[in-house]
Amino acid sequence: MEWQLAHPLHDVDDIVEMADSVFGSEADGILTRDRNVFRYRVTMAATEQLFNKGREFLAVCRSWVPAGEYDGEEAYKAKLLGYCWFDRGGYATYSNEEISNAKFHHVDLSLPAKTRVRLINEMIDQHILWAHSWGIPVICSTSIRAEHNGFMRIHEKRGFTVNGSYAWIRTEKAMELLNGRK
């Protein structure tokens, strides 16, 4: 398994496919989904981070699999296992402290539970490190999924304060906890 920043030419279609086919139904009846709108936004974020790493963070985790298991022409293909997307510039109405919000933590739900938990923890690590690198004092992670208890429990174990489907933590505290885990 290997993490890297999402590339606008190589990763967008797989991100859009995973988001829409696996998680898109969570918004049905509330939002009208449009793959082209999502593709545009993912492409713009991936392109922007080529030039400005501090605005948004969009990373993919891939694993090489035999092409026979994954639709491809090569002997091996890099299968998308998950991706994470964070931004900055969020603010609570009662504070001037900047918040980095997690837009997505998506993993391939066909993976074993241990692998999914590992990937989510690696995404949280990346969020903490990215927010710390850019001086963002607060990290927030949310979920719109009907079943979000396990996701929130992972955050709680990492020291986040969890209220319903919201988890947040001061970046400084998250860094201390992260350094204590190693």
d(CA 128, CA 172): 9
Rounded to a whole number, what is the distance in angstroms from the first to the last CA of the chain?
19
Structural domain boundaries of the chain? 2-181
pLDDT at 116: 96
Measured CA to CA in angstroms, residue 101 lies from 15, 63, 90, 138 at distances of 18, 27, 7, 9
d(CA 131, CA 56): 10
d(CA 127, CA 167): 13
2-181, what's its fold?
Aminopeptidase (3.40.630)
Cα-Cα-Cα-Cα torsion 67, 50, 124, 39, nearest 10 degrees, comes to -60
Q: Which of 76, 88, 95, 176 is nearest to 135 (CA)?
A: 88
Over residues 139-147, the mean pLDDT reads 87
Residue 73 banded pLDDT, cuts 50, 70, 90: low
pLDDT at 146: 75
Over residues 98-118, the mean pLDDT reads 95
Predicted TM-score (pTM) of this structure = 0.90
Residue 69 banded pLDDT, cuts 50, 70, 90: low
Residue 25: left if φ>0, alpha if ψ -120 to 50, beta else—which one? alpha
Q: pLDDT digit string (tens) for 16-52?
A: 999 988 777 888 888 888 999 999 999 999 999 999 9
d(CA 3, CA 81): 10
Query: Tokens 């938990």 label which residue?
Result: 117
Q: Look at residue 66 and tell me whether its pLDDT is greater than 90.
A: no
Buried-exposed string 18-39: b where 16+ CB fall within 10 A, e elsewhere: bbbeeebebeeeeeeeeeeebb
Query: Tokens 């979000």 label which residue?
Result: 148
